Amino acid sequence: MDQILKKQQEMYDVTWENGLAVGKEQRGALETNRRFIKQVDVIKPCMHVLEIGCGIGTIVNDLHLLGCNVIGTDIANKAIEYGKKKYPDIKLEVGVAEKFNFDTESKDIVLSFDLFEHIIESDKHLAEVSRVLKPKGYYLLQTPNKYSNAIYSTIRNRGFSWKIAHPSLHSYRELKQRFDKHGFDCVFIKMDPVNEFTLEKFNGFGPLKWIFKRLDFQRLPLDLQTNFYVVAKKR
């Protein structure tokens, strides 16, 4: 497992280094993630918060300014190094999603965005999240829908190379069952996925981009959402 994590770290370091070299600071739907946090409204000042897969720490900085005791971790050294320079007042450290260096029941909230699908051993990850969360604490996360992401990525990549980066895609029911197994009650929030980040993904897809922009995702069932936004409460 250590060798696999090392290879992942090397891969994401290269990805971040190349992206930052051309000014790409974000690798996900930042504004939609911010709207989700605001809409759920469970994070309050003085809470102890952990964001896993924090990238350069933009959301960590948001929550620091809110008055939270917050720390962010990411497997990519390059992202953490850059984030420490950009946001010198926040706490960032290199870390993996399968093992945390935090005390048991020390966090009120755990966050992750565009992370869960990258984790090879998702049961280890959820066991660790449950361990560090206080009773009745929340894990707020976003992860792509297995069905829509697999179809899109197979077409875009003309093959199954996406399985390397996304070994843990889940359907709605699979995700719910896995969280239930680890002692979480889940509520799925339908968020409008149309933003600059997602629209860029449809470049070259012709009329599909036009259709995507006009879909009413609030009316679509959870099985047809592009991404799952989850409020998971520890029992």
Pairing of strands 227-234, 184-189: antiparallel
Q: Please tell me the predicted confidence (pLDDT) of residue 154.
A: 63
Torsion over CA: 37, 34, 91, 175 (sign) = positive
Cα–Cα dist 27/48, whole Å: 25
Query: CATH number for the domain including 212?
Result: 3.40.50.150
* Total domains, the chain: 1
Cα–Cα dist 154/74, whole Å: 27
Question: What tens digit of pLDDT does each residue of 27-36 get?
Answer: 889 999 999 9
Q: Please tell me the predicted confidence (pLDDT) of residue 170.
A: 94
- 111's CB contacts (< 8 A; 6+ apart) are 37, 49, 50, 51, 52, 59, 139, 140, 141
What range does the domain containing 46 cover?
Answer: 2-234
Contact 153, 102 (CB under 8 A): no
Assess whether pLDDT exceeds 70 at residue 127.
yes
Contact 52, 73 (CB under 8 A): yes
Question: What tens digit of pLDDT does each residue of 45-96 get?
Answer: 999 999 999 999 999 999 999 999 999 999 999 999 999 999 999 999 999 9
pTM for this structure? 0.91
Q: Please tell me the predicted confidence (pLDDT) of residue 199.
A: 79
